[in-house]
Structure 1
Amino acid sequence: MSIEMYSLIKRRVAGSPTKKAILLYMADAASDDGSGIWVSKGNMAADLEMKSKRTVQTNIAELVAAGILSEVGQRKCKNGFTIEYRINVDAVSSLPQTRAGNAPLPQHIAGAGNAPVQEMHLTGAGDAPPPVQEMHPNHPLNHKGTMCPADTGHTQPLDLDFGPFFDEVWRLCPRQDSWSQTEEAVKAVIDGGAVPADVLGATRAYAKRTAGHDPSRIKYSQNFFADGFWEQFVPKRAAKVDQAEILRRRAADIIAGKSFLTRSISAHAAGECITAGLVTAEQCRDAGINL
């Protein structure tokens, strides 16, 4: 256990009680320089009394995305391997202190000070309004205000609470394989303008179609969403999104400046929105898109 690392993390704003608990748990296994962390996520979830291993995986992924943790390699274990992590001391040191005048939580805790973390888009100064609340687990660490659950009647990605949505997709997949790869595949489909109801409907239809089939003839979950294969199973009653609608949604993501969504938008895709007169080049650059 690193007493120095534990003490440093204890008085820094981690973004949520869950993230703080995970960081303190990791500090218990770390060296003084933050290295040498390889712990079972399942054991961590059990020891911290969290609902599932996925909760640990999701929060660690956020901390890695924010630059607070780094993946440095793999360690063999009885189940194959586990990822070795390092706590980035400079990044943690640059986080706001928990007792610094009882200041409110920052909108983006990564990238503060001179920490060598990924580029973030900071909020305005003074009385500038807060940014749009970001809700997906892979969003930058933004915890100001209360997150509202998505209305199940919504089909717009801007209204979509991706976590529960993906949980439902995963539950319906008839041949589950890689959770993380399937999540990325579904995320790409949604980012491309697909209607969530279509994705659910197609997954449900495919599961029904392949019920009782030999597993070798059923697509792995991540492959089902690759190369548009899933689209042939969209129920006919579900309307597909036309290209103009895709551009409008993409432009809305750019204007909103949601990094989770905009980081998947290429310069070419942004250029289509510019050509259509839906956004400006300056708005694209402000959203972190390199034209």
Structure 2
Amino acid sequence: MSYHVEALCDRRRFGSAARKQIAMYLANKASDDGAGIWCSKHTIARHTELSLATVKRTIRDFLDEGLLVETGERRPCDHGHTVVYRLVLEAVSELESLLPQKVSKETGVTVNPVHDDTPRGGHGDPSTGFTTTP
């Protein structure tokens, strides 16, 4: 499990809730470099509560889009074998960010600020600007 990979996926737009849910599940199983994902599609479907067809289609789409690659390894599972995958972190990083873009605001600097020395309230001598409060 890699917090780094999960955080990266969490901050990107995958296009649908199902795609995001599968990406987050895969990220949870990945090591820090995105590799070592070897959960079966049946397991992904069971844990994400998505249909097996949706999981298969989404995995295929991720492979076609270059977000996921097969490492060539296979691991035994209840349904025969499972493919070992790696999330391509560079490709995930290029997806649209969900974080608001920081806008750098240039604040103006007042060179000659206006000082209003007019006395406020109270009573006093207007020629000196001093006021006295009764």
After TM superposition, is the score higher than 0.5? Answer: yes
Amino acid in the other structure paired with 2:42: G
C-alpha separation in 2, matches of 1:26 and 1:99: 21
The one-character-per-residue Cα deviations of 1:202-244 (angstroms, maximum 9, x if unpaired) are xxxxxxxxxxxxxxxxxxxxxxxxxxxxxxxxxxxxxxxxxxx
Q: Secondary structure in 2 aligned to 1:28?
A: helix
**What runs of 5+ residues in structure 2 fail to find an aligned partner?**
102-134
Note the alpha carbon deviations across 1:156-201, whole angstroms, 9 max, x for none: xxxxxxxxxxxxxxxxxxxxxxxxxxxxxxxxxxxxxxxxxxxxxx
**More helix by proportion, 1 or 2?**
1
Instruction: After TM superposition, give the deviation of residue 77 of structure 1 in Å.
Output: 2.2
Cα deviation per residue 1:56-77 (whole Å; 9 max; x = unaligned)?
0001110110000011122222
CA 1:95/1:7 → structure 2, altered by over 3 Å: closer, same or farther? same
Deviation at 1:42, TM superposition (A): 1.2
**Aligned counterparts of 2:85 and 2:44: Cα–Cα separation in 1:** 14
1:10-49 map, 5 Å: 10-49=10-49
- In 2: Cα distance, 1:28 partner to 1:61 partner: 19
Structure 1 residues 76-118: Cα deviation after superposition (integer angstroms, max 9, x where no partner):
22332111110001001111101345xxxxxxxxxxxxxxxxx
SS at match of 1:34: coil
The structure where strand makes up a greater share of residues is: 2
Q: What amino acid is aligned across from residue 36 of structure 2 in structure 1?
A: G
Residue 8 of structure 1 aligns to a residue whose secondary structure is helix
**For 1:1-291, what aligned pairs fall within 5 Å after superposition?**
1-50=1-50, 52-73=51-72, 74-101=74-101
Structure 1 residue runs without a partner (length 5+) = 102-291
1:121-174 per-position Cα deviation (integer Å, ceiling 9, x unaligned): xxxxxxxxxxxxxxxxxxxxxxxxxxxxxxxxxxxxxxxxxxxxxxxxxxxxxx
Contact kept? 2:9, 2:24, Cα under 8 Å:
yes
1:13-62: per-residue Cα shift (whole Å, max 9, x none)?
Answer: 11111111001101111000000001121121121111x21110001110
Q: Which has the larger radius of gyration?
A: 2
Higher relative contact order (CA 8 A, sep 6+): 2
SS of the residue aligned with 1:35?
Answer: coil
Decide whether the 8 Å contact of 2:40 with 2:77 is kept in 1.
no
The two structures, once aligned, show a CA RMSD in angstroms of: 1.2
Identity percentage of aligned residues: 41
SS of the aligned residue for 2:29 comes to coil
TM-score (normalizing by structure 1): 0.33
Question: What TM-score do the two structures reach when normalised by structure 2?
Answer: 0.70
**Partner residue, 1:221:** none
Question: Equivalents in 2 of 1:79, 1:49: separation in Å?
Answer: 18
Number of residue-to-residue matches in the alignment = 100
Match of 2:38, SS?
Answer: coil
Distance 2:83 2:41 in 1: 10
Aligned to 1:262: none
- 2: CA distance between counterparts of 1:96 and 1:76? 36
